[in-house]
Structure 1
Amino acid sequence: MSTRVATPRSRALGFGLRTARVARGLGLRELARQVDVQPQVLSHWESGTRAPKLEQVGLLLGALRVEPVERGRLLELAECAKEPNWLERTVTGVSPALSTYVEYERTATEMVNWEPCVVPGLLQAPGYAEMILRAHRLPPPMVEREVAIRLRRREVLTRRDPLVLKLFLGEEALRRPIAEPAVMAEQLRLLVRAAQPRTSSIRVVPADVGYHPGLSGHFVIFDFAHLPSVVHIEHLRGSAHLYDGDHVAAFRAATETLSDLALSEQESLELIQEVIIGLE
């Protein structure tokens, strides 16, 4: 059985329900008993890994005596909790994991991204992305679709209220010859263009700094205006989202270590330009 993923909408609903329960001083089991559901089911609703029906939300709001304004907001969330995300509406055949990730990307206010070995998908140039996708032995139509998705995702950096991106990039990502020199140079020039002082910070962690927590692998921290932060981690056969506060704090601490070790933004851009010159 696949792991359930909390989508942004279902998670917002669950967080609102949990906040209302805590405000009333009710335990999870006590509230579950009042509305006649299993505690495990209510726990899934509050975490967002399952979405309750509209009538079930109504029962919960009644039991919790939620004020009219907040009641209306949560009922509205309940109505759309199962609606397709942006990517599901615009592209057919995408996986739930990718759709959820992209929706977190679109709804976050800030994103901290550590990538030790490759440029992340959000900032991949077409040729660079194509080489990575081909290495996964995807059929040509799927490669074309995935490249198009990555290009569209970049809109979050140029919209009216842009996503604030803090990217920490391992020096390995600049120097590994994933593609031919011309394609690598194109990719690195895109990084230079993407670096914007107030919205997109790109800092390189040198290869000679010794051991640090980032060597355990890639991670992303999503921060939201009205929801707790989420950590995304990825491996060869899948990915996971971490919602527990202690887990998020551990990755936040790893980010602070990376910040201490990384070159400044200006030094990072100078290093990227130096690598570009070596490729040309």
Structure 2
Amino acid sequence: MTTARPQAVLEMIGRQLRDYRTACDLTRTAAGQYIGADDTKISRLELGRVRVKEEDLERLLGLYQVPPAERKSILDLSRRAGDRHWWFEHRDVLADWFCSYLLLESAAQYIRTYEMRFIPGLLQTPAYAEAVMRQRYADEAEVRRRVDVRMQRQRILTEPGSPRLWAVVDEAALRRPVGGPQVMREQLKALVRANERQYTRIQVLSFGAAGPASPGTSFSILRLRNAQLQDVVYLEQIESAQFLTDAEQADPYQKAWSRLGVAAGEPDETAAVIEDALRRDYLHVA
């Protein structure tokens, strides 16, 4: 059974603390002595093995002379990592890495996502989400619970202070008949409505897009609220995920995103592209 522990977030905070410490040319022993601990505890904190207590975190950030705005961002993220969130009740079916993603998604100010195969999860209808889940999971109860998690995730787009969502969707995702024609008709119409929201921008990367725009994999880039932290690049695999915060690792995805934004159709063209997919593939199919 998973613990629903946001391990990747703890590791992010730990790496940031290590970078602050080394920038100040302090040893783990010196940092530990400052908060009344030993170097082993500092090592465990920097590896994300344990969650740092708020009092210790505040003292370390002061020792490392972290600017106030940046300090606030780190403290906020650490508090979120310790909170009991709505997805905790689904901890027996959610992996730790996905809980980390949910936490970061809830703390994001901007979400940029590129999807090759499916409609992005934040834009899926219940029926489409169910069809996606059935491709991987056989247990009826688990499918229902995972769909429920996906629908609850979408509340962040309509709540006060909602993040801005910018999605680039490959045309293949529009034309792949997930769940059958009726499900696709409802999903594509919902996509058109979503593109009309104030803080949602959807572009379609057409089959005929000029240049090598597609990076060959789906990915998301999250920018946290009030963040002095690096953007987080999220890459999801079948049984794991990667969270890239190192600039050298994340830079290729930032550049890929820039290419995607140029190559994909403009948001005001999205409705016409989707309507074309509806007419060609789903309108007259029983």
User: Is TM more than 0.5 here?
Assistant: yes
Alignment of 1:237 onto 2:236: no
Is 1:131 paired with 2:131? yes
Q: Whole-Å Cα distance in 2 between the matches of residues 207 and 75 of structure 1?
A: 44
1:186-225 alignment to 2 at 5 Å? 186-196=186-196, 198-209=198-209, 212=212, 214-224=214-224, 225=226
Report deviation, 1:47: 6.5
Cα pair 2:192 2:271 within 8 Å, conserved: yes
Matched, 1:117 2:117: yes
Q: Report 1:65-80 matches (<5 A).
A: none
CA distance in structure 1 between the partners assigned to 2:70 and 2:277 by the alignment: 53
The match for 2:265 is: 263
* Counterpart code for 2:201: S
- 1:205-250: CA deviations, max 9, x gaps? 1112366363420100000122321110012222111111222222
Q: Is the CA contact (8 Å cut-off) linking 1:203 and 1:264 kept in structure 2?
A: yes
What is the deviation of 1:126?
A: 1.2
Residue 52 (structure 1) shift: 3.1
Letter in 2 for 1:166: W
State the partner residue of 2:90: 91
Q: Counterpart of 1:6?
A: 8
Identity of aligned residues (%): 29
Distance 1:265 1:92, change over 3 A: same
Question: Displacement, 1:173?
Answer: 0.4
Structure 1: how far apart are the matches of 2:260 and 2:77? Answer: 37
Deviations 1:8-56 (A, max 9, x none): x7745864x4576467x23455645755314xx6466346564235675
Q: Secondary structure in 1 aligned to 2:51?
A: coil
CA separation of 1:137 and 1:37: change in aligned 2, threshold 3 A: same
SS of 1:161's equivalent in the other structure is coil
Q: Distance between the aligned counterparts of 2:161 and 2:68, measured in 1?
A: 30
Q: Match for 1:223: what amino acid?
A: R
Q: Cα gap change, 1:202/1:49 in structure 2, threshold over 3 Å: closer, same or farther?
A: farther
> d(CA) in 2 for partners of 1:64 and 1:104?
24
TM-score w.r.t. structure 1 length? 0.81
Quick check: 175-184 or 58-67, which moved more?
Answer: 58-67
Further displaced range: 26-35 or 117-126: 26-35
AA in 1 matched with 2:238: L
- The 3-state SS of whatever aligns with 2:7 is coil
Q: Hey, what does 1:156 align to over in structure 2?
A: 156
Higher relative contact order (CA 8 A, sep 6+): 2
Cα deviation for residue 106 of structure 1 reads 0.8
Counterpart Cα distance in 2 of 1:134 and 1:213: 30
- SS state at 1:6 partner: helix
The alignment partner of 1:236 has SS state of: coil
- Amino acid in the other structure paired with 2:247: G
CA distance in 1 between partners of 2:209 and 2:14 (Å): 43
Query: What amino acid sits opposite 1:258 in the alignment?
Result: L
